[in-house]
Amino acid sequence: EVQLVESGGGLVQPGGSLRLSCAASGFTFSNYWMQWVRQAPGRGLVWVSRIISDGSSTNYADSVRGRFTISRDNAKNTLYLQMNGLGAEDTAVYYCVRGESTFDFWGQGTLVTVSS
Amino acid sequence: DIQMTQSPSSLSASVGDRVTITCRASQTINTYLNWYQQKPGEAPNLLIYTAFSLQSGVPSRFSGSGSGTDFTLTISSLRPEDFATYYCQQSYTLPFTFGPGTKVAIK
């Protein structure tokens, strides 16, 4: 069974940093592109970032480029999202998602709240 | 960026009703269009990919159609477990973008 389990969310002050993790199991993690998608409270889905299966290429939404860094450790079956310079607009549930452009499996999400 | 719109934004329907949701892209995306269902407090779930392909395990009452800029998700006979919010997403080009969602509520 495919499982994606996010962790690392929480309350952070404006300008602060946070690193999200996503532990993958039930499939060959190193064969798949992975992504982060976020959803602000009561709002819709917004694509954040993606990384190729071997980690050699990444893409970002304009709203996070230069502040967020996606990475992965295929030996640990884990996806990461390093978030720096956080602002109130980054408050959201962050979902770890499998797929290159179609999101076929989603984690349960981890909530990031940016507030003083 | 490709803008995605959906109509209606919400609808009320009864169990057994046929429901149709429309999604429109701001430019042609061929058939690079996916549909997701999201229930309150849960993660989204892939229903339809590349416009009309049913994801494994999804009931056959769900179907998709369309190409170019106009797409449709149809639920042939609404079940109680189908009350949720539905999102379309274009997978044609980065940044991937979603529609604003259509909430299907109980009449």
Q: Which tens digit of pLDDT belongs to each residue from B59-90?
A: 999 999 999 999 999 999 999 999 999 999 99
Put simply, whether A42 touches B (Cβ < 8 Å) is no
* pLDDT given for residue A64 in this prediction: 98
Sorting pLDDT into bands at 50, 70 and 90, what band is B106?
Answer: confident
Instruction: Determine the pLDDT at residue B107.
Output: 87
- Mean pLDDT, to the nearest integer, of B37-66? 98
Considering only CA atoms, which of B7, B6, B23 is closest in space to residue B70?
A: B23
Say whether A106 and B99 touch across the interface (CB within 8 A): no
Angle at B47 (CA atoms; ends B41, B52), nearest 5 degrees: 155
For residue A49, give the nearest of A34, A32, A39 by alpha carbon: A34
Question: Do the Cβ atoms of A106 and B43 come within 8 Å?
Answer: yes
Q: What single DSSP character describes residue A78?
A: E
Cα maximum dimension of chain A: 40
Q: Which amino acid is at B91?
A: S
A95 lies within 8 A of chain B by CB: yes
Give A-chain residues touching B89 at CB under 8 angstroms: 45, 103
Sign of torsion, CA A114 B3 B6 B9?
Answer: positive
Average pLDDT score over residue span A80-96: 98
State the nearest Cα–Cα gap between B25 and chain A, in angstroms: 16
CB contacts, 8 Å: A46 with chain B: 98
Q: Which residues of B touch A61 (CB under 8 A)?
A: 95
Percentage of chain B beyond pLDDT 70 is 100
Phi, psi of A56 (to 5 degrees): -80, -10
pLDDT at B44 over 90: yes
A23 Cβ under 8 Å from any chain B Cβ: no
The CA distance from B71 to B51, in Å, is 7
* Helix, strand, coil fractions of chain A, as percent rounded to 5: 5, 50, 45
* Residues above pLDDT 90, as percent of chain B: 98
pLDDT at A15 over 90: yes
Whether the predicted pLDDT of A105 surpasses 90: yes
Mean pLDDT over all residues of chain B? 97
- The yes-or-no verdict on residue B4 having pLDDT over 90 is yes
To the nearest whole number, what is the mean pLDDT of chain A? Answer: 98
Q: Is the pLDDT of residue B57 over 90?
A: yes
Tell me which residue has tokens 């076929």.
A104
